[in-house]
Amino acid sequence: MCKQKNSFFDRVYEIVAAIPCGQVLSYGRIAALLGSPRAARTVGWALSACPEDLPWQRVVRADGTVAGGAYTELRRAMLIDEGVPFLLDGRVDMDACEWDGPRKNV
DNA sequence: GGACTGACCAACC
DNA sequence: AGGTTGGCCAGTC
């Protein structure tokens, strides 16, 4: 029943794919939603697969900085285009668009 | 089959 | 204030 057999790996995609437009999540935040607040590494590694269906540009570091190697600037432009507010430092405004996750009480 | 790595985070000194 | 380590999961050598 229900889909829980999915590995930690697969659930990362579920969360990232569920992030609404104009909001972002940090690696550790996603890991925490999965039940392992220290599995941020695994989350980052899951994103390393970089599936086209996965809008991983909405996933940023705890500081709000965008990851992704040389494409960091590109991802940042994509987020701005989606309506995500940025700071003058080039970081995501986590204070304004940090997603609370799939809240059941919405 | 064992050990290392990987786009991280937070605690510790 | 800054550097190091431990922890999580899965894939690769």
pLDDT score, position A104? 66
A43: pLDDT strictly greater than 70: yes
Cβ < 7 Å from strand B, A residues 16-35: 26-28
A49 touches strand B (CB under 7 A): yes
- Chain-wide mean pLDDT for chain A? 86
Task: Tell me if A37 sits within 8 A of A26, measured CB to CB.
Answer: no
pLDDT confidence tier of residue A7, bands split at 50, 70 and 90: confident
Which of A21, A11, A76, A73 lies closest to A47 in space, CA to CA?
A: A11
pLDDT surpasses 60 at A5? no
| Helix A27-34 × helix A8-17 angle, to 10° | 120
* Nucleotides on chain C within 7 angstroms of protein Cβ: 6-11
Model's pTM, two decimal places?
0.89
Strand B contacted by A9 CB (< 7 A): no
